[in-house]
A and B are shown apart, each in its own frame.
Chain A
Amino acid sequence: MSRTRALLLVACVLVPQLLVLAGSGHAQGIPQNIPRRELLILENPEGTVKNAGWFNIWAINAGSQSNGLQQAALDTLWYIDPESGLDGVWDNSLAADKPQYNADFTEMTAKLRKGIFWSDGVEFTADDVVATVTTQVKNPAMRFSAVLASNVASVTAPDPYTVVFKLKKPNSRFHANFTVRWGAVWILPKHVFEKVEDPARFDFNKPVSLSAYVLSSYDPDGKWYIWQLRDDWQRSSLGRYGKPGPKYLAYVDPGPPDKRVIAQLNHELDVVHDIAPEGMFALAKQSKATRAWFKGFPYGHPDPTLPAVIFNTQNELFRNADVRWALALLIDIKAVSMAAYRGAATISAIGVPPTGAHPATYHQPMEAWLKEFELDTGKRKIKPYDPTVGKQIADMLRPSMGEQIPSDPADIARAFGMGWWKADPQGAQELLEKAGFTKRGGAWTTPDGKPFTVRVMVEGDLRPVMTRAGTMIVQQWKQAGIDARIDVAQGTLPTRRAAGDFDTFIGWSVETFGGHQDLSYFLDSWHSQFVAEPGKVQPLRNWQRWSNPALDKIIEQTRTVGFDDPRSIELGKDYVKLAVKEMPTIPLMAYNVFTAMDQTYWTGFPTSENPYANPVPNWGNSRYMFVKLKPAG
């Protein structure tokens, strides 16, 4: 009896409390004990972090990167923005000036800012930069060890605000390692790491910050991290731009896409990192407070990344550029854009993402060349470029999307891209015949009489948009008589991609700075010196394993000119022309990221009209939005 009474008593106490808590349901999805008007809630796309208490970003893949650590707490010498930037694309962050190279690019000097302090009160000096390099070079198990060891012969600090790197070989782009595009070599605190026995096994918990925020609390189960504005935020490099708006930042794992939509509709998630196009459309329709990069369709931010059909050019079938071109001419990009992004894609015919500074540097100036570009099918010469494809997509969408679809040609080009290759089955047939393929009974056979089978590898539900693009391309190739098959690799894609175990896959081997015209970010790795033999593991990023003497020459020349040298643009155009002629990958579109921003509590997010930063919240550069955000109302 007494046990029953006790249970009843407990129930009487607990049930009303649960009911009260349940009644305040809105408060359950946001951090407790923090005023909402001081808090910005952002999605961490890494999801639940297994190793929640690990903050040593210099260890290899040990913990989270984009839980706010690289956006709010760490810093490095320079930042380059994929858009316009707060004060131009280039930002001298911990450095006081741009990198200075000697004449033959074997030495780089960085001048550092004065008056920058770690969150524990220790001044940031050149010794921290030196320690960042030496600590990692000494420990091969650290993340940037290999890249630093292969480049740096010595690093010295002649005074507390100057660092001199002597390089093992000429490298005109060495500073890119210390320049945040998404991330970079972050500066570590010497005064903390010098006391640690094994820096690769040190968790760096609680982290000492160099940027404007410090860790406030985190979930041991890895669902959320809360960062608080430093009292001395002026002593961080971000302080130059004024006081950041949010006092607290919460990086959270909001779960699957449907829950992200619900969370933003409930105003419990201010910044959704990315979501399927349908989720974005639902948010745009149901929430007046939601804003994306573009005010209306196509909403998403085009990242400086170029999804493409990537051929394994070491596969005998795809060695011949005529075959690669034939497959390109069998693609109807409008249908691919609709299948992948429901039309909300920014297409690119050339091997450069149609975003940031690139349209003005490459796409627009090369339009005339593209229009005149001819392809010899063996029977005739064709001009495959259609400059109106972007407009056609806009026209196709206008009846259903109405006024959201721009009508100004410049706006159309910015939103949907410019031209692409005309779907030309006849041209493709002639090219395949030229390459020795034959069509028997509606099906193509290879020169040695076997069925022309092409597997298109995709990641399945791990990357649905790309999977939908691949599926549509397979369908189009099948209709043309090719035995095309979708090959869902799921999580095995990185392993198979590196091993060359694919015919083609939908992915990207082109990534750029976006805001800067230099293409070396990806192009240097396309040099034939890095192409692995068949069966061997291919290093990042030339997944197509394509080598070409003319390309080598372009890359070697680029290495000898400075980062800002206008000659690098001309070399970039040479690369574009070569890639068009050879078609080692079929460029499709920018990787549009549907970052949804809720303006209920905060305003001033970066948008296409005010493109001061990339809004995608896992980018290190997204820190610039903190200083532009203002409380709403």
Chain B
Amino acid sequence: MRKGRYLVYAIRRLAQFVLVVFIGVNLAYVITHATPIDPVEQSISAVTSFGNTAPAAIEEMRRSLRELYGLSGSPVEQYLVFWKRILRADFGPSLSAFPTPVSALVARALPWTAGLLTVSTIIAWGLGTLLGGLAGYDRTNRGLKLMGVVAMGLHPIPYYILALLLLIVFGFLWPVLPISGGSAMNLPQGLSVDFVLSVALHAILPALSLILIGVGSWFLGMRALVSNVVTEDYVVYAELAGVRPWRILSSYVMRNALVPQVTGLAISLGGIFNGAVITEKVFGYPGLGSLLVDAVYAGDYGLVLGVTTVSILGVSIAVLAIDLLYPLLDPRVKVR
């Protein structure tokens, strides 16, 4: 591919990326501000629902909060303030945890989500792709056939059912694994061996639930792809030419079948910034998903926008990276 043509392609693709992010963030802004939940009322409700606050005092509190939360300007003024902040990578203060900055809350939750989902996505992808490839290539192997049945069986189970089953089995019937939190209580966070081991141990059940559900779809996808590739002329020719099966599988079949799987992996990795709400809720695991749900219920525009913007950027960057790499990796993809 010519360098100049690729550069033009890359620039166009970058411009597209900026446009997608701009539209995405604007949509998120409009949707969050169209919510019927008023953050001031939510705050007042949280503060006063148990207390004995005089009605006249509530009215005063309402006025103070509107001012404090920066909700007193016109919609246009608020929109302009929002973009000024975004360009400085500042999402402002969280309204439901005022005055803590949204960025601080997101930064605290992000490593948990990114760690859990990256590891479980890669393991599920690796296992599913490898076993799916083998199953598609060697259709007579009983073990791989059984794998296919298991994958087909696991795939349609609603995630929360599987998660709850794991919880009951390993948390109650055979209580060998922790069922809540990201690490043991009263263990200082840091790079100590105890803490790292505790994090690994606490991640086993949530990761296992994600892997068990995820591996099935990667397995089935790869098996289908490989089933098509093995009928290609060049594979038949290689077999007739006496090329060793392992080499045919690794160099001829898997590499060609991998391209769509890699795309899927990149999009999945981009999507980890959405968080895994059900996983976090069921296993009490810290992360972005719970933060987002809580923010929605609290009408915390700032926090919702912070999490969604990170998510929009994650998915968009993943797709951009794939688009930019494809022409370099796969000669069949032409730059027009």
Contacts and interface: CB of A to CB of B under 8 A. Distances in A.
Interface of A: 14, 17-18, 21-23, 25-26, 28-34, 47-48, 50-51, 54, 59-63, 140-141, 143, 145-147, 149-151, 176-177, 181-184, 200-201, 216-217, 219-224, 226, 250, 252-256, 258-259, 262-263, 265-266, 462, 490-492, 494-496, 498, 521, 524-525, 530, 537, 539-540, 542
Given A182-B51, A492-B37, 15 more contacts: A21-B198, A22-B177, A61-B43, A62-B99, A146-B56, A147-B54, A150-B54, A223-B185, A223-B284, A250-B185, A262-B168, A491-B42, A491-B298, A492-B36, A498-B44
Nearest to A140: B64
Given A22-B201, A28-B178, A140-B60, A184 B94 contact: no
Contact of A61 (B46, B55, B168): B46
Contacts of A263: 179-180
Contacts of A141: 64-65, 68
A14 B197 contact: yes
Nearest to A492: B36
A50 B55 contact: no
Nearest to B202: A28
A50 B96 contact: yes
A33 to B, nearest CB: 6
B97 A539 contact: no
Interface centre among B64, B164, B188, B296 (most CB of A within 10 A): B64
A181 B52 contact: yes
A17 B46 CA distance: 44
A61 B51 contact: no
A487 to B, nearest CB: 12
Contacts of A498: 38, 41, 44-45
B83 interface: no
B70 interface: no
B291 A23 contact: no
A289 B182 CA distance: 29
Interface string B160-192: 000010011011100111111110111111000
A253 B284 contact: yes
Contact of A182 (B50, B100, B180, B281): B50
For the complex of A and B, 4 pairs with smallest distance between CB atoms: A539-B55, A146-B60, A28-B178, A494-B45
B281 A256 contact: yes
Contacts of A220: 108, 189
A31 B281 CA distance: 20
A537 B63 CA distance: 12
Contact of B197 (A17, A30, A259, A494): A17
Contacts of A222: 286
A277 B186 CA distance: 32
Contact of A521 (B46, B52, B56, B64): B52
B180 A146 contact: no
25 contacts: A48-B286, A50-B94, A54-B100, A59-B98, A60-B61, A60-B65, A60-B98, A62-B99, A140-B60, A146-B61, A150-B56, A177-B52, A221-B108, A223-B180, A223-B286, A224-B186, A254-B284, A256-B281, A259-B179, A491-B297, A491-B298, A492-B37, A495-B37, A495-B38, A539-B58
Contacts of A217: 186, 188
B53 interface: yes
B163 to A, nearest CB: 11
A110 B92 CA distance: 42
A542 B69 CA distance: 26
A172 to B, nearest CB: 13
Given A50-B96, A495-B42, A25 B178 contact: yes
B112 interface: yes
B97 A54 contact: yes
A31 B184 CA distance: 7
Interface string B53-97: 111111111101100100000000000000000000000001011
Interface in B192-250: 193, 197-198, 200-202, 204
A497 to B, nearest CB: 8
A92 B299 CA distance: 39
Contacts of A259: 167, 171, 179-180, 282, 284
B290 interface: yes
A61 B47 contact: yes
A525 B54 contact: yes
A249 to B, nearest CB: 12
A256 B36 contact: no
B66 to A, nearest CB: 11
B256 interface: no
Contacts of A177: 52
A333 B98 CA distance: 43
Given A150-B54, A495-B42, A539-B55, A28 B201 contact: yes
B36 A23 contact: no
B48 interface: yes
Nearest to B296: A491
A51 B42 contact: no
Listed residue (B54, B99, B167) with the most chain A CB atoms within 10 angstroms of its CB: B54
Contact of B175 (A26, A176, A256, A492): A26
Contacts of A223: 180-182, 185, 284, 286
Given A147-B53, A491-B297, A539-B58, A21 B284 contact: no
B46 to A, nearest CB: 5
A491 B297 CA distance: 5
B216 to A, nearest CB: 25
A491 B59 CA distance: 21
Contacts of A145: 60-61, 64
A263 B175 CA distance: 10
B51 A226 contact: no
A29 B183 CA distance: 9
B60 A63 contact: no
Contacts of A33: 186-187
Contact of A146 (B57, B281, B283): B57
A493 to B, nearest CB: 8
B184 A18 contact: no
Contacts of B171: 259, 262, 266
A540 B290 contact: no
A150 B105 contact: no
A28 B180 CA distance: 9
Contacts of A61: 43, 46-47, 96, 98
A150 B53 CA distance: 11
A266 B180 CA distance: 13
A457 to B, nearest CB: 12
A30 B52 contact: no
A497 B98 CA distance: 23
A43 to B, nearest CB: 12
Contact of B59 (A62, A255, A539): A539
B304 to A, nearest CB: 12
A51 B100 contact: yes
A481 to B, nearest CB: 31
Contacts of A47: 294
B177 A28 contact: yes
B51 A23 contact: no
Given A50-B94, A495-B299, A258 B167 contact: yes
A254 B185 contact: no
Contacts of A266: 171-172, 175
A63 B100 CA distance: 10
A433 B109 CA distance: 59
B105 A262 contact: no
Contacts of A494: 41-42, 44-45
Nearest to B98: A62
A21 B52 contact: no
A62 B96 CA distance: 7
Given A48-B290, A63-B97, A176-B52, A255 B37 contact: no
Interface string B250-284: 00000000000000000000000000000001111
B167 to A, nearest CB: 7
B259 to A, nearest CB: 27
B112 to A, nearest CB: 7
Contact of B50 (A25, A31, A183, A537): A183
